Structure formats: structure tokens, C-alpha cells
Amino acid sequence: MNLQLSDHAKVTWILVARRDGATVFSSNGRGRPLTVAHRIPHPEGRLRPRDIDTDRPGRAFDRGGYGRHAFSTEENPAERVEHEWAVHLARYLDNYRATNAYDRLVLIAPPKLLGLLRDALPTPTQRVVVAELTKDLIDPDGTEVRNRLEGVVRL
């Protein structure tokens, strides 16, 4: 029996990302339970900025002698780690999209991470994003994710 395109059930991946990790849920059709497809740990996201870099900016005296201050850096360590995490997740999602692991993608993340992730996604992967939700979900399960997406996208 030949499968036609209309017979193909659309697979939707839902990425629930946080600074300390991400969970990818899979939906194989309306009314079916969401299953955990992948868990992606990111323990670096739990570190405090002072624990990320051991090298601190140098210190200098003001010309007028009114005190010391640190030389600034353009991106603080926590922002750099979050940006690298978003790039990692974008590559991860793009690699699986290229292998046809999913047809549609939903992104759920806190505002800053969602913005970084959106910017890091290659255009072909951006095209399969059907919904975004700005939310910081802690230890979500499939039921919670489905409830949060109700009225946003059909799963």
C-alpha cells in the first residue's frame, strides 16, 4: 500500500526550554497524549554569573582618585551562556527537522530565551514554527503543556 501525503500524520514537536534544560514533547495527532521525545540538560544554566567565569574584569582607579571600578565587558557571563544555549537548541532542532523527525514546531520559553532562540533558528526551521508561548514552565508534563497550548495551537 502506498502512503499518500494526506495519509501522513503530522508530527508536532513542542520545545519547552529554560536556562537549565529543555524538554521536547511529541504530538502524533489530535487527541493523543504528548510523549517526551527528548530531555536536554543544561546544568551551566544554573550557575551564577560569578561561578561562570573565574576571570573577572580588571580594576582601575578613577583619575580623580575617587575610588576603584571594574572595567566592563560587553556581554556578561550569564548572557553569554544563555546565548550559547539558544544557539545549541536551534542547531538541535534544525538537525532533527532536516531528518523529517517533525513537521511542525511549537516553542515555549521565558521571554529572553525565546527571543534568542527565535533569532538563532535557521530559516527552514523558522518556517515550521506554528506557535510560540512566552512562559517559564518548571518540570512540565504533557498534560500541563497541552493545557497551556489550548486555544493557541491544535495538537
Read off the pLDDT of residues 37-83 as tens digits, 9 standing for 90 and up. Answer: 999 998 775 655 555 554 445 444 444 545 444 544 566 777 888 89
| Size (the chain), residues | 155
Report how far apart the first and last C-alpha atoms of the chain are (Å, whole number).
Answer: 27
Which of these, 105, 85, 115, 88, lies nearest to 24 by C-alpha position? 105
Q: In this predicted structure, what is the pLDDT of residue 32?
A: 79
Least confident of 48-52, 89-93, 145-149: 48-52
Q: In this predicted structure, what is the pLDDT of residue 74?
A: 61
Using a 10 angstrom Cβ sphere, with 0-12 exposed, 13-18 middle and 19 or more buried, the burial of residue 140 is buried
Q: In this predicted structure, what is the pLDDT of residue 47?
A: 57
Domain ranges of the chain: 12-54+76-149
Cell of 44: 551551566
**105 and 129 Cβ atoms separated by less than 8 Å:** yes
Architecture of the domain delimited by 12-54+76-149: 2-Layer Sandwich (3.30)
Which of these, 90, 89, 86, lies nearest to 121 by C-alpha position? 90
- Could you tell me the pTM of the whole model? 0.77
Least confident of 52-61, 80-89, 136-145: 52-61
Which of these, 133, 128, 88, lies nearest to 107 by C-alpha position? 133
Category of 122 on φ-ψ map: left (φ > 0), alpha (ψ -120 to 50) or beta:
beta
